[in-house]
Structures are given as C-alpha cells and as structure tokens.
Structure 1
Amino acid sequence: MWKKLKTVEGPKIVIVGNSAVAFGVDSALLQEELEADGFEYAVCNFGLYGAIGTRAMLDLSEKYIKKDDIVLFMPEINAQSLSLYFSAKDFWYAADSDFSLLFSLDGVAGTMAGTFASFVAEKYTYIRKGGYADSGNLYTRGAFDENCDMKNVERAYNKMDGRYDSNNPISFESSLIGAEFSDYVNNYYETLKEKGAEMYFVFCPVNEAAVSDFEAIDPFCDFLRSEFKFSLLGSPYSSLYEAEWFYDSNVHLNESGMIVHTLTLLNNLKNLFGSTTPNNTPFPEKPEIPPPENVGGADNSDAVYFEYEKEGSGYKIVALNAEGKGKKHLTIPGVYNERPVLSLAAETFSGNKTIESVTIQENITSLPDNLFSDCTSLRTIKLMQADPEKLGVGYGLLNGTRRDCYIYVPDTSLGIYHNNYFWGHYVGRYKTY
C-alpha cells in the first residue's frame, strides 16, 4: 500500500482513511471506470487497521502527494478515527516488514520507543514457538491483491447478529471531532494545497441500521464545513446503505457492497469532473443473509435457567430467571423450545454477583458490551467458537469485571484472537483450554 503510493507515476487519487477504505473501495475498478471516461488517474487505497489511527495514515501519505493529485479523506465516523489517537504497538506490527515507515511519522517517537520492548517480547514468543501470530485469513497481507484492495478473501454476506453491530452504533455528533484533530487535518490540507493537490472529505460507508439519529446528519455536515478548510464531496445519504451490503461491522462492506460504494465514489468524482457518461459496471445484486447455522449437538442442559424473547427464526436470551441467578456455572444453550438461540441481551448477566463461569457456544454470533457488568465473582468466560470472525464483540465486553476474569479460547485459536480486528483489544486477558 505504502510502496504503491511512493512509486506510482502520474496524477493519482489517494483515498485516505481507516479499514472502511480497505473493505469499501475497489481501486482497480475505480481506476478502470475513470480511464474509460478519459480521466487518467492511478487510484491508491490508503486505509488500514483503524487501531493504528487516522493520524498515522495522514503522516505516511503527506510526503508522496504531488501536484495534480486528488486526496479523498474518508475517515470512519467514530471518536477514535476522528481524533489524533495513535497506537504505537499496532504500528510496530504494521511496520515490521518495512521500518522506514517510522521516519514518516510526526511527533510520536517517544510513544514508539515506549512500546518497542513489549513488541519485541511478543514477537519473540511466537518465534520460539516456530512461527508467527496467526491472524486468520481476513486481516493479513494475503487478503489484499496487487492493487492493495481486499479482494483475496471471501466476504459474501452480512454475518452480524441482528444485521448490525449493536456495540458500535453510528452517531453523527459534532462532538466526535476535536479542535486538535481539525487543526491537524487542516495543516495536512494546507501542505497539499501548496503542492498543487486537491483534497475533499467523502463519507465512508455506513450501515443505516446502526445509525442512532438520522436528524443529526445535516448538522454534522454543517459542522464539517465550518471546521475543515476543504470541501465535502458527495452526500452522506448516498453512503448510507442497507444492512445486506455489509460484512462484519457497521462500516465494513462485503464484496458486493464494495462495488456499490466504489460506484458511489465514481459518481461523486464524475460530478466533480463534470462528466455525465453512464458507468460501465452494472449495479450488483443485493446479497441474501443466510439463516442461522444448524446448532445440532449443542449443550442445552442449562436452557431452563434463562428467560427468552422471540427473535426472527429463534430466540434471544434476555435475562436469568430466579433459579438461574443462583447458579455459579452456566452454559448458553444452543436451542430453546426446538428453535435456535440466536443472541444475548446486554442485561443478561449484568449485576449478578454469584456467577463464576459462563460458556458461550458456537450458536452465539455476537457478545454485547457490558454483558458481565458488575459480575464480581466471574473469573471464566469460555468461548467454544474457534474462529473469532464468527463472533462479534465490542470494546466493552469486560466492563465491570474483575482483573482476574479471563477469556478462554481453544489453544489453536489464541493467535487468531490476538490479531483479530475486534478481539485483539483483549490481549492480556486470554487463556487457553
């Protein structure tokens, strides 16, 4: 990604942001469509793991933006991406194959130095075991093609519980953007402007099912116009998509969704260039979300200790019943009343001071934040799911738990959990079985 940005010749369109860029833009398709319309631009995706921080992507790209280039700034709509947040540890892993990346960062030398020892120690641990940390198929170099587009792994349909990630609702609030971030981005823009490049704010894809307040969108746009010195390109409403177009988060598109958003960006650019020619690429069919997987063979011995509500083709656990509140060890059932158990309400265990261990079977596809809040006796959360990509989680699963409460995963899955985009947040809280 960085190498392509440095070496590509001629004018280019650079899409700077977070992982929504990697999941949401087919740069090869965008370039092909523009060339067919007579616009000769190389298209470079420049969005990666959101935990690294937007600031790093700005720093890394600034030097290589040239005269006549166009930068599309496409950050995700959340507090972390719209701030100067920077994860030094995650950046060490990103720079592991090319440490020259470090020299393009601005003002983070101390932070990088402070995390170097832990990075080396963790890497040495994996080398001693005879390999490297496994991150599954999705978040590896092999997932990207030669154009740095995430097209080498299957992302066929929405796999989120309830069609959206309830742990991370999308809020269009002006308070997400601080003055320091605005100043940093505006300074980046001023540098590009002096070089003769253009810059525009474009909206990342957003799962409309996850939007908490649609009425806040227009005021948010007005705030962006007042804060940033560069223009907005396109409407936020054209980047709001139905849940079927997404994959594993409210901003990560599946394969078909990637084409849809690429065509949205294409239309925005054609409007900018004054082109009215039709696109060559047909609009894809909306993917169907398959029914829940068969849960035959699940342990349902504790099904009598929960309260349920009907949800779609199955049931949602909403609470412990009176007898369940007195149990120290519980397993989430796979089936209740001959129908699958699909999900858990955030209040299911909250405040229970008796429970010591909970086993989550493979039928559960998402764990809500604060699920174990104030469970002061809880020490064990056992996950039967070997593939973290099939089990959604936010950053607040362990809110209100003891420091010696651990997440137990299969021994062969530890590396995948460590390096998963979402589950990596809980490194240091894992044990294996």
Structure 2
Amino acid sequence: MIYKEAKKYFYKTLLFIPLVGMIYVTILFGILFYIIPDIETSYSLGHIDKMKLLNKEGKKIVLLGGSNVGFGFNSNLIKEEFNEYTVINAGTRAGFGMRFSLKEISKKLKKDDILIIMPEYNHFSDDSKGYGGIDLLDIIKYRKSIKNITIREIYYCILNIKSYFLNQINSGISNKLYGKIFVYDRRGYNKNGDYIEHYKFPIINNLKGQVIFMKKIDNSILTFFYKEKIKLEKNGVIVFFFPPVLQNSSANLSIKTLKEIEKKMKNNKTPFSDKIENYYLEDKYFYDTIYHLNKEGAKIRTEKVIKKLKVLIDKE
C-alpha cells in the first residue's frame, strides 16, 4: 500500500516539475521583455542592421566572425579591389556563437556571393562548442523571438539573466556618453558594418598577451562548419575560412593550441585559406582586446585578406 502511494506521488511530481519549469521560464522572459529596459543603441543590435544590409541586390562579399571581424576591417578597401561586389562586414560579437551567426546569414546568401568565415579561436573550445551566450538576449529581446537560437543557448541565457540585467543598466548609463568617451554602441558602425567609433579615442597601452587555453578542441563545431560549407556551396556560394587576427603577444603564448586548430581545420576539409601566423599582428595595432584592431591595424589586416582573396578568386 505504501509502495503504491509512493509510486503515485513520484509520478505526480514528475508531471509537476516541467510545469514549474515552464512557469519559471515564462516569468523570466516576461521580465526580459517588459521590465529590463530596452537599449536601442546596444552594440549587439548592430547585428540587426547588418542583416538588413544582406538584403541588398547583386553579388556580395560577406565577412563573418565575432568582434575580431567587426573591429578588424576597412571594407571600403575591399570594395575598391572588387568593385562588382557589395562588401558587408557581418561580424558583431563572438558571444553570439558561430552556430547562430552562420544560421542567420546562410539563407540570405545567393549564387556567386563570397562568404569569408573568421571564427575567434575560443569558438573551437570544448567549453564553447561554437554556441552563443548571454549576448543573444539582446537579439531575443529585440525580436521577441528565439529563431536560430538553440535550446542550449536559451538555457544558458536563463541561467545568466541577472548578469544581463546588470549589463543593461550599465550600458544605459555608458551609452549616454557616446561620442565623449569610447563605448560599445550600435551607432559606432559605418555603412558597411565596420566598427570605427574607437578610432577617435586613444588606444589602451600595454595590453597584455593572453594564453588561448582550452582543455580540448571541440569536434562538433568542426562538423558544423563542414556541413554548412557544403550546404552553401550547393547553392553556389563561394566559402572561404580565414584565421582571425590575433595580438602577437597572445599568439606567442598559445602557439601549440593555435597550430592544433589549424591542423584540425585542414583535416576537416575546411582549411584556413592562409597561414594563421600571417594574422598575428604587432601589439601596437590592437585597441582594447587581443582581437580588436585600431585603424592602422584594420588597414593592414584588410590588405592581407585582399592579397590572398585575389589569388583565391582567380582559382575559382
């Protein structure tokens, strides 16, 4: 008798847990949509503007990655060399994850478009697996939608919604100082999607190198890259993978990991189209992180990509 009662209670509890979970998630998203303040100038919402740029007619060269791409190019120089193409810098945040970023743009690309994918090295980590984090909450909040966002990413966002709330408050304060001091702000992108607002302000001196550490390189993100490449190429899109730019001091501390990533990309049939060491730049060309270039650094990196891209296009 006691056993039957216990069993009955157990099954009722099992049914109750999902209900509590659904109520909890509903409350959190209610807070997200209706209580946490909107920041229309949020840096992350530059992604919305860049998605609109992808609707342009004609052939396109699209640069994709995190902020190593957003902060790392002078797209006008690419346009001068390949004037039959519209050049769009679609890089915004590494925190969006490459899975989300690629899914977002893949359906907007057409035959003869060129996609250059430059993932940050942390996207290869077994901890990250190329998924996004709380930065995606800006997109969810703006769109009132979870399109192209995985269950794993939603779960992570829910766990960190308190941090997001605090970040929104800080952003609301700092973005009022836009133009007076350097802040990450949607208005800092130019018409091509390059982030240029920081050109007005002094760089951070003595930016220390950082070790790019990961317990192991994740195979699932490599598989994802390969599958997406095949799908895009079937639709006539030309796809290249390039290494991200990296501060030389950080590269010197992380050579073994970086070379292992390069090797795995080659074995995955998604090789980098250029040597990774060609994109280790002197520390003086970086602004505030080991991936963010200043104006001169963006020019140098762009010229390197143009030089290699000319060779690659001639081979197509």
TM-score (norm: length of structure 1): 0.53
Aligned match of 2:105? 61
The partner residue of 1:189 within 229, 236, 243 is: 229
Over residues 235-280 of structure 1, what are the superposed CA-to-partner deviations in whole Å (9 max), with x where a residue is unaligned? 22221111111111111111110011011111111111239xxxxx
Aligned match of 1:221? 262
User: What's the offset of the Cα at 1:94?
Assistant: 3.8
Question: Could you tell me how far apart the structure 2 residues matched to 1:252 and 1:151 are?
Answer: 11
Aligned match of 2:275? 235
User: What's the offset of the Cα at 1:153?
Assistant: 3.1
Check 1:9–1:259 CA distance in 2 against 1; reply closer, same or farther (3 A cut): same
Check 1:60–1:153 CA distance in 2 against 1; reply closer, same or farther (3 A cut): same
User: What's the offset of the Cα at 1:78?
Assistant: 2.4
Higher helix share: 2
Aligned match of 2:130? 84
Check 1:112–1:66 CA distance in 2 against 1; reply closer, same or farther (3 A cut): farther
Look up the equivalent residue of 2:211 and give its one-letter code. P
Look up the equivalent residue of 2:265 and give its one-letter code. L
Q: CA RMSD in A?
A: 3.2
Look up the equivalent residue of 1:85 and give its one-letter code. Y
- After TM superposition, the structure 1 = structure 2 runs for residues 181-330 of structure 1, keeping only pairs within 5 Å, are 181-211=221-251, 212-214=253-255, 218-227=259-268, 229-274=269-314
User: What's the offset of the Cα at 1:60?
Assistant: 1.2
Check 1:217–1:152 CA distance in 2 against 1; reply closer, same or farther (3 A cut): closer
Check 1:99–1:11 CA distance in 2 against 1; reply closer, same or farther (3 A cut): farther
Q: Is the 8 A contact 1:199 1:231 kept in 2?
A: no
- The share of aligned pairs that are identical, in percent, is 23
Over residues 219-247 of structure 1, what are the superposed CA-to-partner deviations in whole Å (9 max), with x where a residue is unaligned? 542321102x3342122222111111111
Q: Is the 8 A contact 1:208 1:242 kept in 2?
A: yes
Aligned match of 1:153? 198
Look up the equivalent residue of 2:155 and give its one-letter code. T
Higher strand share: 1
Aligned match of 2:79? 31
Q: Is the 8 A contact 2:51 2:90 kept in 1?
A: no
Check 1:63–1:119 CA distance in 2 against 1; reply closer, same or farther (3 A cut): farther
Question: Could you tell me how far apart the structure 2 residues matched to 1:44 and 1:158 are?
Answer: 25
Q: Is the 8 A contact 2:103 2:148 kept in 1?
A: yes
Q: Is the 8 A contact 2:123 2:130 kept in 1?
A: no
Secondary structure in 2 matching 1:103? coil
Question: Could you tell me how far apart the structure 1 residues matched to 2:174 and 2:203 are?
Answer: 24
Q: Is the 8 A contact 2:54 2:108 kept in 1?
A: yes
In structure 2, runs of 5+ residues without a counterpart are 1-48
The partner residue of 2:158 within 93, 110, 114 is: 114
Q: Is the 8 A contact 2:95 2:135 kept in 1?
A: yes
Check 1:258–1:155 CA distance in 2 against 1; reply closer, same or farther (3 A cut): farther
Check 1:198–1:50 CA distance in 2 against 1; reply closer, same or farther (3 A cut): same
User: What's the offset of the Cα at 1:120?
Assistant: 9.1
Aligned match of 1:420? none
Q: Is the 8 A contact 2:109 2:237 kept in 1?
A: yes
Look up the equivalent residue of 1:34 and give its one-letter code. F
The partner residue of 1:7 within 48, 55, 58 is: 55
- After TM superposition, the structure 1 = structure 2 runs for residues 295-374 of structure 1, keeping only pairs within 5 Å, are none
Q: Is the 8 A contact 1:20 1:47 kept in 2?
A: yes
Question: Could you tell me how far apart the structure 2 residues matched to 1:189 and 1:66 are?
Answer: 13
Look up the equivalent residue of 1:6 and give its one-letter code. L
The partner residue of 1:169 within 189, 198, 211 is: 211
Q: Is the 8 A contact 2:104 2:148 kept in 1?
A: yes
- After TM superposition, the structure 1 = structure 2 runs for residues 344-423 of structure 1, keeping only pairs within 5 Å, are none
User: What's the offset of the Cα at 1:99?
Assistant: 4.1
User: What's the offset of the Cα at 1:83?
Assistant: 2.1
Look up the equivalent residue of 2:136 and give its one-letter code. F
Q: Is the 8 A contact 1:73 1:199 kept in 2?
A: yes
Check 1:113–1:269 CA distance in 2 against 1; reply closer, same or farther (3 A cut): closer
Q: Which has the higher contact order (CA 8 A, sep 6+)?
A: 2
Check 1:210–1:117 CA distance in 2 against 1; reply closer, same or farther (3 A cut): closer
Aligned match of 2:148? 104
TM-score (norm: length of structure 2): 0.70
In structure 1, runs of 5+ residues without a counterpart are 276-433
Q: Is the 8 A contact 2:64 2:90 kept in 1?
A: yes
Look up the equivalent residue of 1:147 and give its one-letter code. N
Question: Could you tell me how far apart the structure 1 residues matched to 2:138 and 2:227 are?
Answer: 27
Question: Could you tell me how far apart the structure 1 residues matched to 2:202 and 2:190 are?
Answer: 20
Aligned match of 2:174? 134
User: What's the offset of the Cα at 1:169?
Assistant: 2.2
Q: Is the 8 A contact 1:59 1:106 kept in 2?
A: no
Over residues 197-223 of structure 1, what are the superposed CA-to-partner deviations in whole Å (9 max), with x where a residue is unaligned? 121110111111222254665554232
Question: Could you tell me how far apart the structure 1 residues matched to 2:157 and 2:186 are?
Answer: 25
Q: Is the 8 A contact 1:59 1:105 kept in 2?
A: no
Look up the equivalent residue of 1:65 and give its one-letter code. L
